Structure 1
Amino acid sequence: MGDKYYVAKRPPMGWNSWDCYGASVTEEILLGNAQYMAENLERFGWEYIICDIQWYEPLADSHEYHKFTELEMDEHSRLIPAVNRFPSSAGGKGFKPIADKIHDMGLKFGIHIMRGIPRQAVHRNTPILGTDATARQIAHPASICLWNTDMYGVDAKAEGAQEYYNSLFKMYAEWGVDYVKVDDIARVDCGPDAPGAGFSEIELIKNAIENCGREMVLSLSPGPARVDQKDFLLTNANMWRMTDDFWDKWEHLYGMFERCHAWQGIGCKDHWPDCDMLPLGHLCVCNNENGKQGHYTHFTHDEQKILMTLWCIFRSPLMFGGEMRDNDEFTKSLLTNEKLLNMHKNGRKARQVERKDDVVAWKSISKDEKIYIAIFNISDSKRKYKLKLKDFGLPKSKKYDAIEIWTNVSETLENGKRFELAPHTVVCYEIEASEMLK
C-alpha cells in the first residue's frame, strides 16, 4: 500500500482453511497443509497459508458459530489463539511458533480477524494498550455483525480507536503474520457512509499496518464491494471481495461472470478485486455429510476448468479451499498448470470481448508477449462461436499457432474459425505474439 514497496505485486496465491474446516482449524491442520504446499505447489507460485475465522474460540468445531461464547483474550482486549487448538501458542507466544515453521518451509502465514473489538472486552471494560481509553469507550455498540456475535464495531473517531488497532497489528507483526483477512467490513465500511461517521475502520487498519514494522497484505471480506467505491478500495486495501461467500454451486460460478465484467480493468499492482475462494478438492471436512466427512467439490471437471480460467484471466487472488493433503491428480493438475498460471501471473489488460447467448469471450495480453483467448459456454445447451480476430486486437489476415492450455494440444487459429462448445465448458488458447503463420 505504500509508495516504496508492493506487498501484493501479483494477486496472492495460497490456501485458506475456511472451506474445508470452517472455524475448527487446528495447528496440526495448518502445518500439514503447509507441508503439502511446500512440497507440491510452492514452485508454481503458491505461498500463503491462511488460518481463517475464530482461532481464538476454544470450542469451535464446524462452519457454525457458538453464540456469545467465551473467547481467548489477553489483558489488553486482544484476541489470542486458543491453546487447546494451537498448543504452541501457550505462554503468550501467540502464532509465532507456527509462523516460524511456515516461514522455514519457504511460505508465508496469514490470519483472519473480525473487524471491531471483542464484546467480552467491552462488557468487562478492559484496557487498551497505548492509551488510557478502555474497550467500552471505543466500541460502537450499534455496529454489529449480523452473522457472528464475537465483536462490536469500533467507533473510528473515538480517542483510543487507532491505538487499539495499532496494538493488534503490532502483536501480529511480532507473531510474523504476512497477510490479514479482515471480515464483516468490505460491504459495510467503505467511505463516508461507514459507522465511524466518515472515518472508517478500514483506514484505522491501513494506518496500523503501515506503522507495525512488518509488511502485510490487507484483504477485505465479504462482498459484494461496490464498484463506485473503487477509489477508496484502491487507496486502502490490497484485496477486496467482489462477492459474498463463493461455494461450489453453478449459480455462484455463473454469476461471477457479471461481477468480473463489472470490475474489469480496475485491478492493478498491489490492488486486486477478489473473486473469493476456490472451492475445489475435499471440502467441509469438519462436517458429517451422510455419514462421510464433507464432500469433494460439486463442480464437474469442466466447471472447475471454467472457474480456474476465469479467476486466472481476470487475475483474481487464488485461495484454494480444499484439504490439500486429500487432493487427487485432477485437482493437483488445476493448481500446477503452468500456462494457466502464467496467464494469471503475467496477464495484462484482461477484458470481456463479447457475451452472447451465454457464450463469453475474454482476452488477456501478457508482459512476456503472449496473447490469451478464453471462450466459455456457460449456458445449459450446446453453443457455436465464430472467432473474429479483430475483436481480440489481432489482424484478421493472419493465422496463429496456439496451444489450448487444458489439453496442451497445438492448433491453428484463424479468422472465422468455428467452435462448437458443450454446455459448461471452456477453451483457452495461448498464442505467442511473435509467431505468425503465413
Structure 2
Amino acid sequence: MKRLLTFLFCFISISGFTQASKPPLGWNSYNCFGSAVHEDEVKANAGYMAQHLKQYGWQYIVVDFLWAYDNPPYSKIGNPFQERLYDGSYIPWLAMDEYGRLMPQATKFPSSFQNKGFKPLSDYVHSLGLKFGIHIMRGIPRQAVWAKTKVLGADGITADMIADTTSKCEWMNHMYGLDMNKKGAQEYLNSLLQLYASWDVDFIKVDDISRPYHKAEIEGYKKAIDNCGRPIVLSISPGATPVADAAHVKQFANMWRMADDFWDNWKEIIAMMNYAKQWQGAGGPGHWPDCDMLQVGKLSKRGPVGPERYSRFTDEELKTHITFWCIYQSPLMMGGNMPENRPYDDSLLMNEEVLSVDQNALYPQCIFMDSTKAIWVSHVAGSNDVNIALFNLKDEPAAVSIDFAGIGLKGNVLLRDLWQRKDLGTFKNKFGYTINAHGSLLLRASSIKK
C-alpha cells in the first residue's frame, strides 16, 4: 500500500504541478527589515545563500512588503500609510507606471532607476543560481484609482472602473480590492503578471487575500500566472486561511498561511501545531500549508515587531521550531538577516538529513498531542521508513515515548537521530527518551527483517 501511495505521490508531482512540487526553501526580507529592505541587503542575503545554503536546496530570495514605498521619516515602522491631500491625491506617491502597476522605489532599489523594475536585481539573483520573488498587496493602488490610470489590455477601461472601493485592507491603506466581475479586472492582473514575468520573477506572495478569503481574486492571480508564460509560485497570506476553503486553495495556490504572523514566542509554536492539525492531509506536490517564516537569526533590524535582536527562542526551541516545520512539510522561508547568522543558526539550516524530512516525505500526521507532549510522523518517500518527531512541550525535562506498532513498524526497529546524524541502535516495540524542556527529537525509523 505504501508503495502505491508513493507512486501516486510521484505521479502527481510530474503530471500537473510544475511549481512547488516540494515545499519551497528560501529567504524573505520581512522579519529582519520590515517595509524598508534595500537592494544591497537583498544582495547580501542572496550572496550568503549562494555561498552557504544553496547546496542544501535553499533557492528563493523574496523581497517583501512595500518595495514601491519610500518610507519617509514620518511613516510608522511596520505600518506604513499614505495621506490624502485636499485634492484627493496621495502622499507619499508610490512608484507606479502609467498602467497603475507599482514599480520598485529607486531610493531603495537603485538598479530599478529609469523604469528597469526588478529585472536587474532578478538577474543578479539568478546569476547566483537562485530564484527571485516579490511580495505584493491584493488589488489595485488607490492612487491608480484616483489617477484613473489606463488598464493595459482593456481598451477604454481605467483603474476606477475595476476597483471595489468597499474592499480595503484593515491594516494598510494603499490598495483597493478588484471587482473580478468587472471587465478589465482580469486584464489588470494579467498585466501585473506580464510585468513580473518580464522581470523574471519566480515567486509572488500576495498579501491581504487569505483572511478574509477572497476567492475570486485568488482565482484571478492563478489565471494570470497561467497566462504569463513563466512558471511562478503563488503564495497567499496572511492566515488563518479558512479550512472550509481547503479544496479551493489547494487548486489555486501553491502555499497558504495557516495562521497570522508567526514570531519568536514559545506559545506560538504550540499554537502552530494546533493550526497544523486542522490542515493535516492538505499538503502535497504543488500545494503546501504554510507555517510562516523561520524566526532564526537576527530579526527586526528595521522593524516590524520589537527591537533589533537575535531570535528570542532558546537553542532547544529553535531546534523544535525547525523540527516541526520539517516534519509538517511546511515551506521554509528564513526570516533572519543571514549575513549575521551565528554558527548554531547555520547548523539548523544546513543539515541535509533534517531538510530531507521536509522535502522528501509523505503524509505528515499527528499521532498524539496534549499540553505536555506531541508526536508527529511522516513516511519516507520510496521506502517503508518512517520519520518520527517527538516534542516535549513542558517547561522541564520529560520522557516522551512511542509505540512502533501504532505507526506500522514491526519487529526490531533501527533508529537514527537526524540532528546528530548518528544511529541510536535497534529497539523493539517502543522507544522512549528524556527530552529537554521545549525540546525535540527527530528520528528516522527502519524496520529490520530477521
Smaller-chain TM-score bracket: over 0.9
Residue matched to 2:29: 17
Closer, same or farther: CA 5–360 of 1 in aligned 2, 3 Å: closer
Deviation of the 1:19 alpha carbon: 0.1
Is the contact made by 1:288 and 1:294 (CA closer than 8 Å) also made in structure 2? no
Matched, 1:425 2:425: no
Counterpart residue identity of residue 402, structure 1: L
Q: Quick one: which of 184, 191, 207 aligns to 1:160?
A: 184
Is the contact made by 2:34 and 2:304 (CA closer than 8 Å) also made in structure 1? no
Is the contact made by 2:62 and 2:134 (CA closer than 8 Å) also made in structure 1? yes
Q: Quick one: which of 271, 278, 281 aligns to 2:294?
A: 278
Q: Quick one: which of 288, 302, 305 aligns to 2:316?
A: 302
Alignment of 1:84-99 (within 5 A): 84-99=107-122
Matched, 1:347 2:364: no
Is the contact made by 1:47 and 1:107 (CA closer than 8 Å) also made in structure 2? yes
Is the contact made by 1:9 and 1:269 (CA closer than 8 Å) also made in structure 2? yes
Residue matched to 1:173: 197
**Equivalents in 1 of 2:162, 2:56: separation in Å?**
44
Task: List runs of 5+ in structure 1 lacking aligned partners.
Answer: 192-199
Is the contact made by 1:289 and 1:295 (CA closer than 8 Å) also made in structure 2? no
Is the contact made by 1:359 and 1:378 (CA closer than 8 Å) also made in structure 2? yes
Counterpart residue identity of residue 232, structure 1: H
Q: Deviations over 1:237-290 (max 9, x none)?
A: 101000100011111111011111111111010000100010110000114999
- Deviation above 4 Å: which 4+ runs of structure 1? 1-5, 287-290
Deviation of the 1:235 alpha carbon: 1.0
**Equivalents in 1 of 2:170, 2:105: separation in Å?**
24
Closer, same or farther: CA 110–289 of 1 in aligned 2, 3 Å: closer
Is the contact made by 2:17 and 2:286 (CA closer than 8 Å) also made in structure 1? no
Q: Secondary structure at the match of 1:352?
A: strand
Residue matched to 2:124: 101
Between the two proteins, the alignment pairs up a number of residues equal to 424
Is the contact made by 1:156 and 1:204 (CA closer than 8 Å) also made in structure 2? yes
Q: Secondary structure at the match of 2:309?
A: strand
Closer, same or farther: CA 364–53 of 1 in aligned 2, 3 Å: same
Alignment of 1:98-177 (within 5 A): 98-131=121-154, 132-177=156-201
Is the contact made by 1:2 and 1:210 (CA closer than 8 Å) also made in structure 2? no
**Equivalents in 1 of 2:263, 2:17: separation in Å?**
34
**Equivalents in 2 of 1:76, 1:190: separation in Å?**
23
**Equivalents in 1 of 2:80, 2:446: separation in Å?**
50
Q: Secondary structure at the match of 1:420?
A: strand
Residue matched to 2:345: 331
Q: Deviations over 1:355-397 (max 9, x none)?
A: 24421111111114232111101122443333211111111xx
Residue matched to 2:211: 187
Matched, 1:380 2:403: no
Residue matched to 2:64: 52
RMSD after superposition: 1.9
**Equivalents in 2 of 1:10, 1:203: separation in Å?**
22
Is the contact made by 2:61 and 2:132 (CA closer than 8 Å) also made in structure 1? yes
**Equivalents in 1 of 2:250, 2:67: separation in Å?**
29
Q: Quick one: which of 417, 420, 424 aligns to 1:411?
A: 424
Closer, same or farther: CA 268–76 of 1 in aligned 2, 3 Å: same
Closer, same or farther: CA 245–356 of 1 in aligned 2, 3 Å: closer
**Equivalents in 2 of 1:289, 1:64: separation in Å?**
10
Is the contact made by 1:24 and 1:63 (CA closer than 8 Å) also made in structure 2? no
Counterpart residue identity of residue 391, structure 1: G
Is the contact made by 1:14 and 1:47 (CA closer than 8 Å) also made in structure 2? yes
Counterpart residue identity of residue 295, structure 2: P
**Equivalents in 2 of 1:50, 1:289: separation in Å?**
19
Deviation of the 1:58 alpha carbon: 1.5
Q: Quick one: which of 77, 80, 89 aligns to 1:65?
A: 80
Deviation of the 1:59 alpha carbon: 2.1
Task: List runs of 5+ in structure 2 lacking aligned partners.
Answer: 1-12, 84-91
Q: Secondary structure at the match of 1:42?
A: helix
Q: Quick one: which of 213, 217, 237 aligns to 1:201?
A: 217
Closer, same or farther: CA 201–329 of 1 in aligned 2, 3 Å: same
Q: Deviations over 1:128-154 (max 9, x none)?
A: 111121111101011000101110111
Q: Deviations over 1:393-431 (max 9, x none)?
A: 111xx2222221223342133324332233201111113
Percent identity, aligned pairs only?
41
Residue matched to 1:76: 99
Deviation of the 1:312 alpha carbon: 0.5
Q: Deviations over 1:24-60 (max 9, x none)?
A: 0111111111011000000100000000010000126
Is the contact made by 1:339 and 1:430 (CA closer than 8 Å) also made in structure 2? no
Segment of structure 1 superposing worse, 61-70 or 385-394: 61-70
Residue matched to 1:197: none
